[in-house]
Structure 1
Amino acid sequence: MTIARRTFLASAAGLAALPAWAQDWTPPRPIRFVVPFAAGGATDVVARVLADRMGEKLGQPVVVENRAGSGGNIGVENVVRAPADGTVILMGTTGTLTINQHLYNNMGFDPVRDLAPISMAFATDHVLIVGPNVPARTAQEFIAWLRENPGKASFGSAGSGSSTHMVAELFRSAAKVEVTHVPYRGSAPALNDTVAGNVQFMLDQLPSAIGQIQGGRVRALATTGPRRTAQLPEVPTMKEIGLPDAEATSWGAVMAPQGTPAAAIARMNAVLREALADPAIQARLVAAGADAVSSTPGELSQKMVQEAATWGRVVRDARITVN
């Protein structure tokens, strides 16, 4: 299954179209930028890059705050319940915005109903990584090893229902292997345990895994995007190793509590689109393994609806449940 990547790059005309009534909006106090996962993961990396630029343009500090747990639901609910005055925003993800609603019966909030879209922020591939104790050197050898040892290998994720869980489930299904899921409170601790050998593999987002790959502490065997990534040009795609149904990309988007003033939404959208069109910002994200992606609030709203339907089918077909 392929999760299509759609890129909405800002144009000069779009930036100039900021309504006059929104041009003068400034946050009344510093902005809390909630990341619903532990520090060090892909979502956190991108949020910190954008927070610096947003603070410069909006005239107030933008402070990243990590609130991990429950597959990201704890952080999202913190934003949903926050004052809708433009001083609290969320770095939402594929999982928190379009997957969790199909996994948790009592979330207490609805991402579509209770959050206001601001802009897309990034898209990233996942990468199949194995720890140093795994004997396989190629993806094909790894799959053969898993099949020879059914139920003995485990994989880490950022939490039940996170993108790192769901993409790994796609891999499990496509490769027809029996493995055990071990959820963590964020990608960083899951990655640490992969390095330590406490779990055998992970399908992490590229931005959070690239440092450990380049440092030789884990081995990259395949990436999940439609083409090879520039950061790991020697690593084949899932399609190239014979698993086209394991192809997927993840994305992140900036959201606010529903009811946030339109002027605040418009101003922050303009700041984000300008930042994401900046070659320097794009280079920083590429270096971290992510592609800069921006959108209008309306485009983001449409994407959320489309992907919620797509991942809902995946959850039902694979009978995925949270632990």
Structure 2
Amino acid sequence: MPRFFVDALKFRTRVFIVGTAAGVLSLLPLAAQAQAAFPAKTITIIVPFSAGGTTDILARVVGQYMSRDLGQPVVVDNRAGAGGNIGAQAVARATPDGHTILMGTVGTHAINQSLYKKLAFDPIKDFAPLSRVALVPNLVVANPAQPFKNVKELIAYAKANPGKVTFGSSGSGSSIHLSGELFQHMAGVEMKHVAYRGSAPAVTDLLGGHIALMFDNMPSAIGHVKSGKLRALAVTTPKRSPALPEVPTIAEAGVPGYEATSWFGLLAPAKTPAPVVARLNASILKALADPEVKKKMLEQGAEPHGEKPEQFAQFIQAETAKWGKIVKQSGATAE
């Protein structure tokens, strides 16, 4: 056979093979294609609060490990405002391919829908839960210059000076805010709430003596307690924290039955392909099982907590009902 015809035949064969491969790929389910391609670029964790707060700290600790596991950079994008709603809305509207995810909180996914009259997103329908990341006590911390040294003295002082004690929070409707509102309701005191755009600026003002106290998430306050810059009065959980075992619970210190626990978890936009959700979940669980990650979180007073997406979804629904009742009982409002 003339060489010209042999070369032509080889060319047609190559074209057929390439074309067939492309055809087979096009027949694969979109979910399988997404799994094969994921992650194809940088993954962004949107933190709906300012840098330096607990949500930000946890996102960076877990994100650093996930970057190594997934083989792509994982970066944190802080979008603070409206009690976390601005950042949450951004993820709800993001392309559902797993490359933009949210470090959600008890505020964004269990409290805000009861606190705000109208949200631009649905905390349940617009997200694909990936996993919880941590359970975190709130820590009642005061500027050392304040005249009260424990919860009983705080209650006595607040009752003698209605509205004089100021407490800061990471924003109206945050778990930090509602922890304070619940305390007022159960202790029968009146304090003045001061909302900030994140925990970090509130802590800065607390250190400077511009506000009296905070019901802050432990990771963003524990360092200042250990250095003596802030005074720890109590933790908001039913049991004492191993990170600060000498600090009593609020229930022990004078308000029986008081309990408020914060939690944090990662979520993707709704309609993110199931294989991508599974890959992200696996990476998160590996991160939370890593000894170095666990150590960093425990040192900050955060308890690592991983679970399957369906378990996280059920937990969010239960928390929504629980905090809805607390919001109603406390009379708290963000508007």
TM-score by length of 2: 0.88
Q: Over aligned residue pairs, what C-alpha RMSD do you find? A: 1.6
Q: Is the 8 A contact 2:32 2:275 kept in 1?
A: no
Give the alignment of 1:33-48 within 5 angstroms.
Answer: 33-48=45-60
Q: Give the total of aligned pairs.
A: 305
Identity %: 48
* TM-superposed deviation, 1:24: 4.8
* TM-superposed deviation, 1:84: 0.8
TM-score by length of 1: 0.91
* TM-superposed deviation, 1:181: 0.7
Aligned to 1:241: 253
Q: Which has the higher contact order (CA 8 A, sep 6+)?
A: 1
Which entry has the higher C-alpha Rg, 1 or 2? 2
Aligned to 1:10: none
Aligned to 1:111: 123
* Matched position secondary structure for 1:137: coil
* Matched position secondary structure for 1:33: strand
- Farther-moved stretch of structure 1 (243-252 vs 59-68): 243-252
Give the alignment of 1:42-61 within 5 angstroms.
Answer: 42-61=54-73
Runs of 4+ in structure 1 off by over 4 angstroms are 19-25
Q: d(CA) in 1 for partners of 2:43 and 2:276?
A: 12
Aligned to 2:205: 193
**CA pair 112-46 structure 1, distance change in 2 beyond 3 A:** same
* TM-superposed deviation, 1:45: 0.6
Aligned to 1:250: 262
* TM-superposed deviation, 1:279: 2.3
Aligned to 1:165: 177
Structure 2 unaligned spans of 5+: 1-30
Q: d(CA) in 2 for partners of 1:59 and 1:79?
A: 22
* Matched position secondary structure for 1:102: helix
Q: d(CA) in 2 for partners of 1:246 and 1:127?
A: 13
Aligned to 1:88: 100
Aligned to 1:13: none
Q: d(CA) in 2 for partners of 1:201 and 1:55?
A: 37
* TM-superposed deviation, 1:278: 2.0
Aligned to 2:81: 69
- Farther-moved stretch of structure 1 (190-199 vs 239-248): 239-248
Aligned to 2:23: none
* TM-superposed deviation, 1:178: 0.4
Q: d(CA) in 1 for partners of 2:245 and 2:47?
A: 30
Aligned to 1:177: 189
Deviations 1:83-105 (A, max 9, x none): 11111000000000010011112
Give the alignment of 1:262-277 within 5 angstroms.
Answer: 262-277=274-289
Structure with greater helix percent: 2
